Each structure stands twice: as structure tokens, then as C-alpha cells.
Amino acid sequence: MRRHSQRRPRARVAAPALVLAALLATAGCADDGGATEQIELDASPSTAAPEEPDASAGADAGATDGSTDGADRTVPRDPRDGELIAGREPRRLDAEQRAVLDVHLAYWDERLRSFRTQRVDQDRVYELATGAAAEFVVSYSRELARQGHDQVGGAILGVRRVSVTGDRARVLTCFRNSAVDVDARTRKPVEPAVAFAQTTDLLVREGPDWRVTSTTLTSNDPCEYR
């Protein structure tokens, strides 16, 4: 089973750790066609996100049999503790879409590793993200430490669509989640876990590199992730 790499956007191998509670429990749903907001602990809005790519141009995920890109692999139905697992993704991606998706998955892996450990590699974060998407990783990790909280659990990140228009890209996701914030001393949850989340994530090209600029929670409805 493929798990996403912590360090290199194009490496798709084993990775520890991750959680999603900050994403799932703290953001409101975005209206169709409205401006996106960075998901924040206190729901404070971010700066405006870049214009989204044309939704008509992109690669959609195909069959939901657990295989991706024509490879024969099985995605589990439930997340495993301490892991961010790559779920379904479009079977046919061109080189640009693949580059976008690799950076997107690497960002989520690094973001959630930072939340779990509360140790932030800022060089790595800013290699993968910019603006509010990068700043949130730093600020929320510090907030967890200040409150005396840890994050436990796991997530499966399914990708429903990758769209690229010029120097803008959009990734539509489906998360299957078991992650939750817990009190570091008692190990008891401080909030309920949310089983599903759908997000719209925007990226921009800066020089030769893609970087995540914003993540927007659009729904907590069940969705296809495998």
C-alpha cells in the first residue's frame, strides 16, 4: 500500500503521522462560487485566495475500486492510527497535474505531521506552501502546544479532481478521518472526531514550483475516498 512521503513531493512511500482535527472541527462550509478562506482554529478569515482554475479543465477520479493510475492496489476502508494514506486519485494525469498533486499531498503530510509532533520544519512548510496555507501550519502547531493538546488518529486523503489553468491549480479532495485532538495528560479527546471532510485546495506556481495557498472545507458529507 502506498503512503505519502514526508519529504519529497514526488516520493510516494511510507510516512508517519498525521491528523485532521484542525481541518474538520473549525471551519464553516464555503458557498458555491464564493471566495475561499484558509481553515483557521478561530475561524478568522484569511487574505483572498487566487482565482480558481476553470472547473471544466481537469482530471477526475475514475472507478472507486481502490486502484489508481491503473495500478492494482487496495485502499483500506478506515484510517490507521498515525498515518496519512493516499486514497483514490484520477487515473490519467498529465505531467503538470501530477506535479500539482505531488506537492498537494506532500503539503498535507507535512501539515499534519507538524500538528501531531508540534515541531515545525518551516523551511519545508514554505517549500510546499505560501501565505495563509503556510502560516496556519506554524500557528496551529503552536496553539496545540500552548493548550497542552496532542493529535492522534489517521486519515485517508482521496483526490476527486485536479484542475490546472496557467499558473493556478485546484484540487478537490475527500478525507476519511479518525483524527482528533486529545489532552496530552489525560489522553481524552477534547472534541469529537469528524468522519468525513471535502475540501477545495488552491495552488499557485511560483517560478518552477507549485505551492498551496489555501484550503477550504466545503462539506462534511460522506464521499468516495478509495
> What pLDDT does 23 receive?
53
> What pLDDT does 74 receive?
85
> What pLDDT does 82 receive?
77
Separation between Cα atoms, residue 129 and residue 168, nearest integer Å: 13
Separation between Cα atoms, residue 196 and residue 182, nearest integer Å: 19
The phi and psi torsions of 157 (rounded to 5 degrees) equal -105, 105
> What pLDDT does 54 receive?
55
Residues of the chain with confidence (pLDDT) below 70: 1-58, 61-73
Separation between Cα atoms, residue 182 and residue 149, nearest integer Å: 6
pTM: 0.74
Q: Domain-by-domain residue ranges, the chain?
A: 21-43+58-219
> What pLDDT does 24 receive?
46
For 135: left if phi > 0, alpha if psi spans -120 to 50, otherwise beta; the answer is alpha
> What pLDDT does 4 receive?
52
The CATH number that domain 21-43+58-219 falls under is 3.10.450.50
> What pLDDT does 22 receive?
55
> What pLDDT does 216 receive?
96
> What pLDDT does 69 receive?
44
